[in-house]
A and B are shown apart, each in its own frame.
Chain A
Amino acid sequence: MSISRRRFLKSLTAAGVAMAAPRPAGAHGEFAGHPESYGVLQDITLCIGCRLCEKACNQVNHLPAPEKPFDDLSVLEKHRRTDAKTYTVVNRYDIPSYHRSPVFNKFQCNHCQEPACLSSCFVAAYTKTPEGAVVYDASVCVGCRYCLVACPFGVPTYEYREPLEPTVRKCTMCYPRLLEGELPGCVEACPQQTMLFGKREDLIAVARERIRKHPSRYVDHIYGEHEMGGTSWLYISGVPFEELGFRTDLGTTPAPKLTSGALAAVPIIIGVWPALLGGIYVMTRTKEKAAVRDKDSAVRRAIEETQAAADQARKQAAEKAKVEREKAVELAVKKALEKAAKESAEEGS
């Protein structure tokens, strides 16, 4: 074998050590997001549940008219989620212990800093734009729906009734309007100015200031500041967020970080497995060949020994036969001589 066994084993050990101490993929520093990233600060305490934002969203995005019109507030009796024709919904929460009950919360895509939909998309159909909006490109989408699975907020929706050209549907933060310098439709339409559009950093500062100025009005938390690594849609509320249907157990680990460890193992397996398996193959073949060689030589030796023993036995038998023949000849000669002697003795007298 050309690779010395020692060198091979050394490289195995190195690989083993490298695998035993997995380090998460990615830089050691923090990523700050795009400096010019915009966002929306949603002040839940201001919302009156008029649904004008839903109507504006529907119009701006040219979505089909819903079953019940937007001024029908009876829809608020049930909690709704987004669907293929509805990018945003307002839900009502009756909280008896809260003096400003009922509370209304507008639900839509949070435009995460490290979107799970983007991370999970194997065809790169999502983009986190520098403006902060997370947008979807239907022209490459294969329809695998992993983004629906991955989104911790349960935002994206799918056209399950579309047979050949289904797309994923979700809030776009009115990205085309942003590029024109306009506000998202819902932000503009809100009569209470529940939503404030601006640079994400500024919005966080505004939120902090509002909470600081009115501590009895707000819960001391900006939802979206750190959740899942931070979102561009930020919320402040008068009641604890879990009472408004927010997931408060999501943690701050961004989605890409959740899979970076497993993905990091891939090139290592590609690097190590062929060598490992090839090495095992060579080692078992060598062992087999050595075993075959040993067996062969043992068989050969056995044959030789048997042969030698047979030769020896034959030689001995030949010797013995010779000795016996000589003795027989001697005896015959002796007998003949005796007979001759007797005959000559009888003739003589």
Chain B
Amino acid sequence: MSEPANPVERPIFCPFNIIAGIIILVGLGITYLRFTGGLGAVTNLDDNNAWGFWIGFDLLCGVALAAGGYTTAAAVEVFGMKKFHAALRPALLTGFLGYSMVVIALLYDVGRPWRLPYPFVWSPGPTSVLFEVGACVMLYLMVLFLEFSPMALEWLGERKLRRVLVRLTLLLTIFGITLSTMHQSSLGALFLIVPSKLHPLWYSSYLPVFFFVSSVAAGLSMVIFESTLAHRAFSDKMDEEHKRAADAVVLGFGKAAAFVLAVYFAIKTFGVALDDNWGLLATNYGLWFLLEMIGFVLLPCFLFVVGVRDLNPTVIRWAAFLTVLGIVLNRLNICLIAFNWQLSPADRYFPHWMEIGLSVFVVTLGVTAYRFIVTRMPVFYEHPDFSEGH
């Protein structure tokens, strides 16, 4: 209910703009090379390793880390936990931008991006898990756009259209949670078809469940992580309610994350037991698996517990950061590191610097858009004309 701070006039050549500018220029260069020289000109992909960093990081990690949208919406709109309301708009914005970035990255990775609609309008392959992923991501992006649009409409002063969209909130939220459950788990299901290529410690018939549960932890942690960054960078854009709620969000989400990570650890253990893979834990890959599970699942879980019990938001923030790293590690393991584990070292894949460069470019686009939006639209504060919102 307080007045939003006036948008600070930032100089054109501030450090963020310069760095972002360089990254964007490099990205444009890579774009040119990609569409004149093919994937081979900018990636280290080959016939043995057809999916690389862009799929492993931009798609798999991107979707998992954008999960804050549906988890926060579930908490606030479905479970009615009003105290997290301040976290909802930032989470939805991140979700919307995150999925948009995933689509942009896909435009580079697939051979003929203009044909991406083909499976859904022309020639469906319904037995493909990728069909389901594509359909859900497409629909969910639309849902996120509609959930984000009231923020833009408030900025533009469009009352009537905004009211129509706000009435759709519950429907969009439920649809969004359903779609998210499906595509988060389906990203894991993509790898069900390759038991012969994915290391047994990561391959499981439970892959879809693992991906879904870990996406919840990822979403909760990203909300905490981003609120930490946002409070440092954009606190002048935040109203009192938002600032006051910050710690409540961190504590509440931290508690939830503790549970989810504990459950995740347990079911991953069940997965090892199901296939009787205990002996594999003593191998090199086994140690790597244990590092992922103990260092990046069990440890953050423990830290979340400590932070919640001691009412210490700082510990919780570190736990969230570790969880995010753990999710990234898990997705990269399944897609790149534990995948094709049986190939000889000469045939293994490592990303080309331009693959990483392009991913940084895409993330930068997202961060730039985020910055533009939060400094102008009512994300961290309530627009004075629309405070009948809750």
Contact = CB atoms under 8 A, between A and B. Distances in A.
Contacts of A278: 174
A307 interface: no
Nearest to B136: A266
Contacts of B323: none
Interface residues of A, number: 61
Contacts of B123: 123-125, 140
Given A119-B127, A123-B118, A269-B181, A164 B35 contact: yes
A247 B340 CA distance: 13
A255 B119 contact: no
A119 B38 contact: no
B80 A273 contact: no
Contacts of A259: 127, 129, 189, 192-193
A274 interface: yes
A210 interface: no
Contact of B175 (A158, A166, A274, A284): A274
Nearest to B173: A277
Interface stretch (A143-151, A172-180, A185-193): A143-151
A121 B125 contact: yes
Contact of B193 (A81, A150, A277): A150
A281 B196 contact: no
Interface string B179-194: 0011001100110111
Residue from A121, A122, A154 having most chain B Cβ neighbours under 10 A: A122
Interface string B21-60: 0000000000000111111110101111011000000000
B177 interface: yes
A258 interface: yes
A72 interface: no
A8 interface: no
A348 interface: no
B195 A120 contact: no
Contacts of B112: 141-143, 164-166
A96 interface: no
Contacts of B80: 281, 284-285, 288
Contacts of A142: 110-113, 115-116, 118-119
B78 A280 contact: yes
Given A124-B124, A163-B36, A266 B46 contact: no
B128 A119 contact: yes
B208 A265 contact: yes
A122 B189 contact: no
A238 B349 CA distance: 34
Contact of B208 (A119, A141, A150, A262): A262
Residue from B50, B113, B122 having most chain A Cβ neighbours under 10 A: B50
B328 to A, nearest CB: 20
Contacts of A163: 34-38, 41
A160 B181 CA distance: 34
B201 to A, nearest CB: 16
A41 B182 CA distance: 43
B134 interface: yes
A231 to B, nearest CB: 14
B197 interface: yes
A140 B197 CA distance: 27
Contact of B177 (A159, A167, A277): A277
Contacts of B34: 163
B370 interface: no
Contacts of A146: 50-51, 128, 130, 190
B170 interface: yes
A236 B46 CA distance: 30
A251 interface: yes
Nearest to A81: B47
A270 B182 contact: yes
A270 B36 CA distance: 42
B79 A280 contact: yes
B193 A123 contact: no
A262 B189 contact: yes
B205 interface: yes
B182 A157 contact: no
Nearest to B44: A160
Interface in A239-270: 247, 249-251, 255-256, 258-259, 261-263, 265-266, 269-270
25 contacts: A83-B47, A121-B125, A121-B128, A122-B119, A122-B125, A122-B128, A123-B119, A123-B125, A142-B119, A143-B110, A143-B112, A145-B50, A146-B128, A156-B47, A160-B38, A163-B35, A165-B112, A166-B112, A249-B196, A258-B192, A258-B193, A263-B129, A269-B182, A281-B80, A284-B80
- For the complex of A and B, list the 6 residue pairs with the smallest distance between their C-beta atoms, beginning with the closest: A143-B111, A160-B40, A148-B50, A262-B189, A122-B131, A145-B50
Given A121-B125, A263-B129, A277-B78, 17 more contacts: A82-B47, A120-B128, A120-B193, A122-B134, A123-B125, A140-B122, A140-B123, A145-B51, A146-B128, A148-B50, A149-B50, A158-B50, A164-B112, A249-B196, A256-B127, A262-B192, A263-B132
